[in-house]
Amino acid sequence: MAKYNLTTTHDCDCRANFVIELAFQQEEATDAESIVTMAETARVELIVPAYALAEPYETLVRRKKERSDILQRLRAELNQLARSREYANLPGTSTSVTQALAASAQLQAEGLDRTVRRFMRCGKIIPLTSEVMASALDAQLTFKLQPQDAIVFATVDRYLEQSAAGEKLFVNKNQRDFLTLEIESRLAGLGCKLMPKICAAKSYIVHRLNKIAPAS
């Protein structure tokens, strides 16, 4: 069966993290699911920087705190409004909203744990080494990247330098920092195409796989 090499990673502030997209069932979760399924059935090789599996937990902790703060303020406002006869029933009618906020952190934590374990089973995890960190420091200057993005880029860059020839994709929705001529040129020189959307990456992979090994 034909294989396709795929490197997937994250946006440094996790608005577009491939892992979070799937774990939290966000906009492109269906396409992310398709790609991971292809990795599980050995149609593609999924390459994941270890940092991209660890960093989402920072986002989870931050979101949990933000929602806890929102929940406290919301409850306080509802209780304040309920002192007026006109809004006396408001806390009761808003129960579903407050319950959803309270439960969301635990549900997302469970989803993230499942997704990380899944990636560990079907993907190849590239460790964060001292060599990668040294390259990341250089990448901050060379490609004007933020520290988190530089770590990811350096991990991918060193992997590509050491990997065998073959078509590869780097899936990263952080267009602001990664979709530059300098980075695209660097990746292209290593046989890797940058894809800024998960849905576009899924369609491209399916097209290439069908071209390599047409469905019977």
DSSP 106-140: HHHHHHHHHHHHHHHHHEEEEP--HHHHHHHHHHH
Q: Note the CATH number of domain 4-64+109-212.
A: 3.40.50.1010
Q: What is the pLDDT of residues 150-197, one digit of tens each?
A: 999 999 999 999 988 888 999 888 888 888 999 999 999 999 999 888
Across 113-127, average pLDDT: 94
Q: Which pLDDT score is estimated for 173?
A: 80
For residues 179 and 189, give the distance between their C-alpha atoms in angstroms, rounded to a whole number. Answer: 15
Q: What is the C-alpha to C-alpha distance for residues 88 and 72, in angstroms, rounded to an integer?
A: 19
- Domain ranges across the chain: 4-64+109-212
- Contact indicator for 63, 20 with CB cutoff of 8 Å: no
Confidence of residue 69 (pLDDT cuts 50, 70, 90): confident
Residue carrying structure tokens 């990263």: 172
**Contacts of residue 124, Cβ cutoff 8 Å, sequence gap at least 6:** 45, 46, 47, 48
Q: Answer yes or no: is pLDDT of 11 > 50.
A: no
